Structure 1
């Protein structure tokens, strides 16, 4: 049985985050380490999951802690998927933002069936302007 520790304070090292993204299969610009660093430097809620000193999961959000929260990244190392870590990262994110705030995310195509399974509602009213790079 795994002994996973969760943290809501601090930010993991950028190299550890990049390694986690690669191992999780989450499509992020992992070849642009500076961009990954900026993504985390400009986020205000980071929940991480650790197996000893190994980063095995992360949830990165932007929130005002009183009305809305955008959970931008949820990644779990492939070897640790289907063990409840992602669900716990989402639960700790929701706990951190409180009951006044909604939690919103855009699902990767491969995760469309995951989120309803952890109690999230599917919405059909989102719009976006795609990034240029």
Structure 2
């Protein structure tokens, strides 16, 4: 399996929607909204198998204190291949040691994140989006 990782390479909204749907992530499916999500990310790490998008890691950060890992998605049949772990490692390298990497997990990934170095926190709060 030959996977290449890219930083800042912008996949099409349709490629990202296909990845989110296939990976079982509940995300918007409107191309315009996905395009804005990608455009406004501070760091975008993608994984490619030849010319096929197989992973995406989208982060919002101030580059000095904290970084929010907003999306981590890998094609279902490649989930145990280390792609997610590698995209997280690239993200951590790029944001630097001064930034804390934080995220909100979907319930199905609760067991995954501690395996790749995240600590479980019980001090997060959120206000849900309206749509």
Q: CA deviation at 1:119?
A: 1.3
Superposed CA offset, 1:42-93 (max 9, x none): 1110000000000000000101112110000000011211110011111111
Match of 2:61 in 1: 63
Q: How many residues of Structure 1 are paired with residues of Structure 2 in the alignment?
A: 131
SS at match of 1:99: coil
Match of 1:119 in 2: 117
Q: TM-score, normalised by structure 2?
A: 0.97
CA distance in 2, matches of 1:36, 1:109: 22
SS at match of 2:67: strand
Q: Tell whether the 8 Å contact from 2:9 to 2:46 is kept in structure 1 after alignment.
A: no
Q: CA deviation at 1:109?
A: 0.4
| 1:6 equivalenced with 2:20 (yes/no) | no
CA distance in 2, matches of 1:44, 1:14: 17
CA distance in 2, matches of 1:88, 1:76: 11
Unaligned runs of 5+ in 1: none
Unaligned runs of 5+ in 2: none
**RMSD across aligned positions (CA):** 0.8
Match of 2:20 in 1: 21
